[in-house]
């Protein structure tokens, strides 16, 4: 069965101050419990804010390392999951359900990509 990486992209500049509401946390927790019990969720986690990011870049035979914050970034990866689904349609359905747990003032995008197996 294929595995999928879902990257959750958030607009940090327009995210609600104080983070998720308690109700949003409850909805998210219930969905994560459901997807785990269904045997779909393999791994998930949130990520630190982009201000704490370090980028490692290779160009022209040279390596550079730059610490955040990165002001040009509109959306950043705020979290991820690795799921095992019967097909991409199922992975997209779970991603959509996750996005719907967010309160209306959030701007969130899920990027779903199949993992290429060895």
DSSP 8-state assignment for residue 105: T
Hey, where are the domains in the chain? Answer: 3-114
What CATH architecture applies to the domain 3-114?
2-Layer Sandwich (3.30)
Q: Which residues share a beta bridge with 47? A: none
Query: Average model confidence (pLDDT) for the chain?
Result: 93
pLDDT in tens, 9-58: 998 888 888 888 999 999 999 999 999 999 999 999 999 988 899 999 99
Residue 86 tokens read as 């019967």
- pLDDT tens-place string over residues 62-99: 999 999 887 777 788 999 999 999 999 999 999 999 99
Query: What stretch of H or E contains 33?
Result: helix 22-37
Characterize the bridge pairing of strands 62-67 and 54-59.
antiparallel
pLDDT at 17: 83
d(Cα 15, Cα 72) in Å, to the nearest integer? 16
Indicate if the pLDDT at residue 117 is higher than 90.
no
Taking the CA atoms of residue 109, residue 13, residue 55 and residue 60 in that order, the dihedral angle to the nearest 10 degrees is 90
The two three-digit tokens of residue 91, written as one number = 């992975």
């Amino acid at each position: 069965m294929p595995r999928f990486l879902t990257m959750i992209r958030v607009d940090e500049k327009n995210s609600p101050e104080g983070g998720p509401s308690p109700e949003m946390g409850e909805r998210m927790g219930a969905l994560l419990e459901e997807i785990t019990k269904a045997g779909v969720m393999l791994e998930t986690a949130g990520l630190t804010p982009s201000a704490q990011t370090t980028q490692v870049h290779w160009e022209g035979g040279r390596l550079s390392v730059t610490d955040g914050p990165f002001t040009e970034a509109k959306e950043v990866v705020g979290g991820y999951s690795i799921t095992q689904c019967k097909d991409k349609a199922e992975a997209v359905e779970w991603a959509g359900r996750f996005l719907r747990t967010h309160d209306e003032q959030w701007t969130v995008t899920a990027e779903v990509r199949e993992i290429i197996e060895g």
